[in-house]
Structure 1
Amino acid sequence: MTSRDMTTICLFDIDGTLTGARKKIRPEMEECLKKLKSKVVVGLVGGSDAVKITEQMGGDLSIIKEFDYFFCENGLVAYKNGEQIGEQSLSKYMDEDKLQEVINFSLNYMSNLKLPCKRGTFVEFRKGMLNLCPVGRSCSQAERDEFGKYDEEHKIRQKFVDALYEKFSTFGLCYVIGGQISIDVIPKGWDKTFCLQFVEKDKFKTIHFFGDKTQKGGNDYEIYEDSRTIGHSVKSPEDTMKLIEELFF
């Protein structure tokens, strides 16, 4: 049996890469990752918090221990071998008055949108970001899918991002389209490249990154384009599994 290559790491986005958008991981993907972990170092890097990511990965918080690295909220909350190694907070970084300016503008902007449906939780305050959701995060899976199709046609989120950049160009923030229904508001430099500072400490020779939102404005773009990574753009979990087989087996 060949030994595990500890100089190579594969980092994976969650939504659209390992799972369907906000859906649970399928058994065949679990098997694929388990097989990969016997060959190289494996880490997850998602925009959601630990609870949401572990739910998608088919378990509770104990699943964090199953990965060499586990990065929540782009790595603003970071784990290595199940132990927390880093944490950053938006509330400490950003002045409350500015934070409320962005929230108030966003709520007003979203209130004027006409969509197929609107539900609840339009702004979610996470440790390292604001998550803005025009349709509301309490929407059902069917409503989520309906908004996703509507957004593809009408560019609801892209227009929202453009408006945020125009209004708050001096705030030092980035506004990126993430997942199927939302926009992440993060300080510059707090995109998914944030997690690389922890990976670099272990001096990997090769860092692979797999993501689906790799286009400019997507929340995988910066880490996909980063000179420290070999970026792989995928369209689905099936696409990811195929690439893993081609690259490592």
Structure 2
Amino acid sequence: MAGQQRDASLICLFDVDGTLTAPRQAATQEMLEFLKRLKQKCYVGLVGGSDLSKIAEQIGSNVAKEYDFLFAENGLVAFQDGKQVGQENLLHNKGEECLQKVINFALKYMSELELPAKRGTFVEFRSSMLNLCPVGRSCSQKERDEFSEFDKKNNIRKKFVEALYQNFPDAGLKFAIGGQISIDVFPVGWDKTFCLQFLEKAGFKTIHFFGDKTNPGGNDHEIYKDSRTIGHSVTSPQDTIKQVSEVIPGL
């Protein structure tokens, strides 16, 4: 690593889906080369709502080693310089009874939705969050895109989130629209701002965050608005490259 040439006080932190890659797609060679050049200028971190295996599918199998920081599941599974430095557990935090109530409600709610398609894996239990997916995570890319367009017109996930908050107002849970097809469920405070503690400990003075789901209800909103970050709202991987190039000249 060209550590001596880099600005040790500055880190660029990126959401993955919709920011570095098209939703659930692999990063382009152009993006990977851009990030490699960026690493010569400053430190680089990734924070995604997905688990490590899904982020690795998109960014590369050695993603935890190739970037200075990698935060899977919003930072609840954290890596620094390729070594794991943090791990939280949803089941231990919330307990079986609470989570099962949410799962049962979600399955019943999703069973009554009429969508362009329904496939498999409507609830994915991750180590630090639940992922609720009305169309089913085993849908094809075509079905994923169809649901995304249907969702934009009919606010399927927005209404689902409202119903979850209405039914679980005191559960201490956050329900956030994430990625292209799903909703993330996690304890309050376990949003992407969770990862900032690791960056504060590392002593960064400036944290630029780039994400696409920055509106209220999106899973980038809290970290985008956090006083510890300089937030940048992007619309695509190409827009990310454009905006980063404006912040970090000479790439």
TM-score by length of 2: 0.97
Does residue 81 (structure 1) correspond to residue 52 (structure 2)? The answer is no
Residue 114 (structure 1) shift: 0.2
3-state SS of 1:19 partner: coil
Which residue of the other structure, out of 8, 11, 14, is the alignment partner of 2:10? 8
Residue 128 (structure 1) shift: 0.5
Give runs of ≥4 in structure 1 deviating > 2 Å. Answer: none
Q: Which amino acid counterpart does residue 247 of structure 1 have in structure 2?
A: V
Question: Equivalents in 2 of 1:95, 1:3: separation in Å?
Answer: 47
Task: Please list every run of 5 or more consecutive structure 1 residues that lacks an aligned counterpart in the other structure.
Answer: none
Q: Which amino acid counterpart does residue 12 of structure 1 have in structure 2?
A: F
Residue 63 (structure 1) shift: 2.5
Does residue 183 (structure 1) correspond to residue 183 (structure 2)? The answer is yes
Question: Equivalents in 2 of 1:125, 1:239: separation in Å?
Answer: 32
Residue of structure 1 equivalent to 2:54: 52
Q: 1:159-214, CA deviations, whole angstroms, 9 ceiling, x for partnerless residues?
A: 00000000000000000000000000010000000000111001111001000000
Q: 1:68-110, CA deviations, whole angstroms, 9 ceiling, x for partnerless residues?
A: 0000000000000000000000011012111100000000000
Question: Equivalents in 2 of 1:161, 1:209: separation in Å?
Answer: 25
Does residue 17 (structure 1) correspond to residue 19 (structure 2)? The answer is yes
Question: Equivalents in 1 of 2:101, 2:63: separation in Å?
Answer: 37
Which residue of the other structure, out of 25, 28, 31, is the alignment partner of 1:29? 31
Does residue 228 (structure 1) correspond to residue 216 (structure 2)? The answer is no
Residue of structure 1 equivalent to 2:199: 199
Question: Equivalents in 2 of 1:228, 1:148: separation in Å?
Answer: 32
3-state SS of 2:5 partner: coil
Query: Does the 8 Å contact 2:209/2:224 carry over to 1?
Result: yes
Q: 1:25-74, CA deviations, whole angstroms, 9 ceiling, x for partnerless residues?
A: 001111111110000000000000000001101x22x2210000000000
Q: Which amino acid counterpart does residue 23 of structure 2 have in structure 1?
A: A
TM-score by length of 1: 0.98
3-state SS of 1:218 partner: coil
Question: Equivalents in 2 of 1:133, 1:23: separation in Å?
Answer: 17
Question: Equivalents in 2 of 1:80, 1:190: separation in Å?
Answer: 19
Count of aligned pairs between the two proteins: 247
Q: Give the alignment's Cα RMSD to 1 decimal.
A: 1.0
Q: Which amino acid counterpart does residue 82 of structure 1 have in structure 2?
A: G
Q: Which amino acid counterpart does residue 31 of structure 2 have in structure 1?
A: M
Of all paired residues, the percent bearing the same amino acid is 63
Question: Equivalents in 1 of 2:14, 2:100: separation in Å?
Answer: 32
Query: Does the 8 Å contact 2:45/2:68 carry over to 1?
Result: yes
Which residue of the other structure, out of 41, 44, 69, is the alignment partner of 1:42? 44
Residue of structure 2 equivalent to 1:105: 105
Task: Please list every run of 5 or more consecutive structure 2 residues that lacks an aligned counterpart in the other structure.
Answer: none
3-state SS of 2:50 partner: coil
Residue 134 (structure 1) shift: 0.1
